[in-house]
Amino acid sequence: MGQKAHPIGNRLGIIKGWDSNWFGGNHYADKLVEDEKIRKYLSARINKGGVSKVVIERTLKRITVTIHTARPGIVIGKGGAEVDKIKEELKKLTKKEVQINIFEIKRPELDAQLVAEGIAKQLEARISFRRAMKTTIASTMRMGAEGIKVMTSGRLGGAEMARSEQYKEGRIPLHTFRADIDYALSEALTTYGKIGVKVWICKGEVYGKRDLSPNIGGTSSASGKGGRPEGATAGFGGRDGGRGGNERGGDRRGGGNDRNKGGNNRGGGNRPGGPGGQGGSRPGGGNRPGGPGKR
C-alpha cells in the first residue's frame, strides 16, 4: 500500500499556512464541523465561480470567510447582490455574524484546484482524457510553472477495467519542503462512473521565512522555468550560432581559396557541379583572386 503524505499538509508551518485560522478551545469539534458545512455549501452554491479555496477565520462573534476565486464577477454579482445573498444564507447556516471577502486569483493556470476541476469538466464533456491532460500541462508550463504532474484514475475512455495514467513535465520535488507545491484532487462524474483527477504544480522554491497568514502565498509569484536559467536558450543558441557561423565562414573563405587553387590546377571551376563550380556559385566566390581556372 502506498503511504504518501499530502503535499500541502506536509508543508504546513514550513511554507504553507492553514485554511482555517482560529483557536478551538472546548468547542473545537463544533467549529470544525461548521467549517466543513460552510465549505461544502459554498462549493455547491458557487459551482461555476472558479472557487479554489475558502479560508475561514474566527473571532468571538464573527466569522470571516475569504473566497479565493478566478471569476470574482460571478461571485460578487451585479452591484454586489450575489455576495449579500450568500452572506445572509451563511448567517442562517451558522447563526453567527458573517463577513465575506473576495480574493481574485490572477493566474488560474497555476492553481492546482482550478486546473484539476478544468480537466474534470473536460472529461465530463467527453473530451479524450489524454488530450485534456496534455493541453492542460502545456498551458500551465507556458504560464511559468517549474513543473506539473497530472494523474487520472478510473474507467478511462469508458474501458471495462479501471486504470490510472499520469503525465508530467518539469520538476516536482515532493521531498523538498521549501518547494512550493500545490496539490488538488477533483472528480469527474461521467456516465460510466467517477474518474479521479490529481494535480501537482511546482511554483518554485521559497527561501527565507515566509508569512504563513492564510491569504498570503495563495498566489505566489512563479519563478522562471526550471532546468535552465531564464533566457538561457537564447544565449546558448546565440553562442552556438555565432561559433558555427565563424567556423563556416572560416571554412568557406579557406575552402574558397583552396577550391580556386584547385580550379587553377584542374580547371574544376568550369565543371558543372564540381568543387570549383560550387565555390564559384557562392556569393563572391567567383570573384576571388585565383577564380575559375583555365587550362
Predicted local distance difference test score (pLDDT) of residue 235: 36
Predicted local distance difference test score (pLDDT) of residue 60: 87
Residue by residue, what is the 3-state secondary structure of the chain? CCCCCCCCHHHECCCECCCEECCCHHHHHHHHHHHHHHHHHHHHHCCCCCEEEEEEEECCCEEEEEEEECCHHHHHCHHHHHHHHHHHHHHHHHCCEEEEEEEECCCHHHCHHHHHHHHHHHHHCCCCHHHHHHHHHHHHHHCCCCEEEEEEEECHHHCCCCEEEEEEEECCCCCCCCEEEEEEEEEEEECCEEEEEEEEEEEEECCCCCCCCCCCCCCCCCCCCCCCCCCHHHHHHHHHHHHHHHHHHHHHHHHHHHHHHHHHHHCHHHCCCCHHHHHHHCCCCCCCCCCCCCC
pLDDT digit string, tens, across residues 41-70: 999 999 888 999 999 999 988 999 999 999
Predicted local distance difference test score (pLDDT) of residue 222: 31
Chain centroid to Cα 106, Å, comes to 13
Predicted local distance difference test score (pLDDT) of residue 75: 92
Query: Do 19 and 214 touch, CB atoms closer than 8 A?
Result: yes
Name 11's Cβ contacts closer than 8 Å, sequence gap at least 6: 177, 181
Predicted local distance difference test score (pLDDT) of residue 243: 41
Q: Looking at this protein, which amino acid is placed at residue 288? A: R
Predicted local distance difference test score (pLDDT) of residue 213: 80
Give the predicted TM-score (pTM) of the model: 0.71
C-alpha to C-alpha distance for 243 and 82, rounded to whole angstroms: 63
Query: Do 53 and 218 touch, CB atoms closer than 8 A?
Result: yes
Predicted local distance difference test score (pLDDT) of residue 290: 52
C-alpha to C-alpha distance for 156 and 205, rounded to whole angstroms: 34
Which phi and psi angles does 210 have, rounded to 5°?
Answer: -105, 145
Can you give the pLDDT of all 295 residues of the chain as single tens digits? 788 999 999 999 999 999 999 998 899 999 999 999 999 999 999 988 899 999 999 998 899 999 999 999 999 999 999 999 999 999 999 999 999 999 999 999 999 999 999 999 999 999 999 999 999 999 999 999 999 999 999 999 999 999 999 999 999 999 999 999 999 999 999 999 999 999 999 999 999 988 888 766 544 333 333 333 333 333 333 334 444 444 444 444 444 444 444 444 444 444 444 444 444 444 444 445 555 555 4
Predicted local distance difference test score (pLDDT) of residue 292: 55
